[in-house]
A = this chain, B = another copy of it.
Amino acid sequence: MLDDRKLAVLRAIIEDYVSTTEPVGSKSLVDRHNLDVSPATIRNDMAVLEEQGYIAQPHTSAGRVPTDKGYRLFVDRLSGVKPLSAAERRAIETFLAGAYDLDDVVTRTVRLLAQLTRQVAVVQYPSLRSSSVRHIELVPIAPGRLLLVLITDTGRVEQRAVELTQNIDDESIAHLRAVLNACLDGRQLADAAGVVADLPARIAPADRPGAAAVLSVLLTILVERHEEKVVFGGAANLAARDFSKGLQDVLEALEEQVVLMRLLGESGDTVQLTVKIGAENPVAGLHDASVVSTGYGAGDQVLAKLAVLGPTRMDYAGTMGAVRAVARYVGQILAES
């Protein structure tokens, strides 16, 4: 029903439209790509493609424009993933290697992706879920106030202030710290949360009230879904390409953490690339946008996701290449540190 030539025509239409932003007609198609048939033939093919919903015309007597369905087919069957050039790969490597911090890794990744694709990049912080407790530190910072610091084996540090109703002396703090580390060190965060409940028994009765405050805060950190932190960058690229209509909608959507989470949530928990096109996106206001996302992490384990967002009319092959490459490198960096 869709023979090879029709597919070729669809591909050609998409390529031209992506690069010119203008509806493409049968004539220009024929001579830009070397299809060895006449425009009239192409017109027939186009009529079929339109009937099937792969392309559409903005007005009668204008060229054709790909539909979401057209892009979908293109991504699924016609387009590969374009590998990055050696220069680009080197750039990624050196840029990411300079990071000294988890924060820094994430920030740099966003910039990198945005720059590479000239679109909007979205990156989620690596999840704490599967990391384990390396060390817990308690530091008095004011009377009746402690700072609880949790260090994980992935090098991530979580901090939280603890308000005490009554003062605890240094000795008790030391004791509490010792107990915490003895019992929780090396445990997965999820497991650790379970163990916390048993701890009061191991603490001197006199200290229990104070300890309770600390433990409850600790529990918050352990349980909290910290993977909910998401950052984005490259908004300026939106303005450059004319996202004419819904620029404001898109910007608004991007500033909502919840929306970003939902976008990334669409991507499966794998290192596979996922592409959501136009109306496939869960978020209204992003119906003119496509999102290329993937999981990343150390090795096979998916710790978080990242994505690139752009107009449906985007260079899918290139974007997918960049997303995949960056995800891999970031994974590598995370595995090392």
A contact residues vs B (CB 8 Å cutoff):
100-101, 134-135, 137, 139, 141-142, 145, 147, 149, 151, 153-155, 157, 159-161, 233-236, 238-240, 247-248, 251-252, 254-255, 337
Contact = CB atoms under 8 A, between A and B. Distances in A.
A20 to B, nearest CB: 20
A157 B137 CA distance: 12
Nearest to A239: B248
Of all A-B residue pairs in the complex, the 3 with the closest CB atoms, nearest first, are: A236-B251, A239-B248, A236-B252
Nearest to A238: B251
Contact of A139 (B134, B139, B239): B134
20 contacts: A100-B160, A134-B141, A137-B137, A137-B149, A137-B151, A139-B151, A141-B153, A141-B155, A145-B337, A147-B157, A149-B149, A151-B159, A155-B159, A157-B157, A234-B255, A235-B251, A235-B254, A235-B255, A236-B252, A247-B247
Nearest to A154: B141
Contact of A235 (B157, B235, B337): B235
A240 B239 CA distance: 13
B147 A155 contact: yes
A149 B160 contact: no
A248 B233 CA distance: 14
B233 A251 contact: no
B151 A149 contact: yes
Number of copies: 2
Given A137-B149, A142-B337, 12 more contacts: A100-B160, A134-B139, A141-B155, A145-B337, A147-B157, A149-B149, A151-B159, A155-B159, A155-B161, A235-B255, A239-B248, A239-B251
B161 A159 contact: no
Contacts of A101: 159-161
A12 B141 CA distance: 52
Contacts of A141: 134, 151, 153-155, 337
A98 to B, nearest CB: 13
Given A137-B135, A240-B248, A151 B147 contact: yes
B135 A337 contact: no
A233 B134 CA distance: 34
A247 B100 CA distance: 33
A135 B173 CA distance: 14
A233 B251 CA distance: 10
Contacts of A247: 239, 247
B157 A149 contact: yes
A104 to B, nearest CB: 10
A130 to B, nearest CB: 15
A233 B135 CA distance: 34
Contacts of A236: 248, 251-252, 254-255
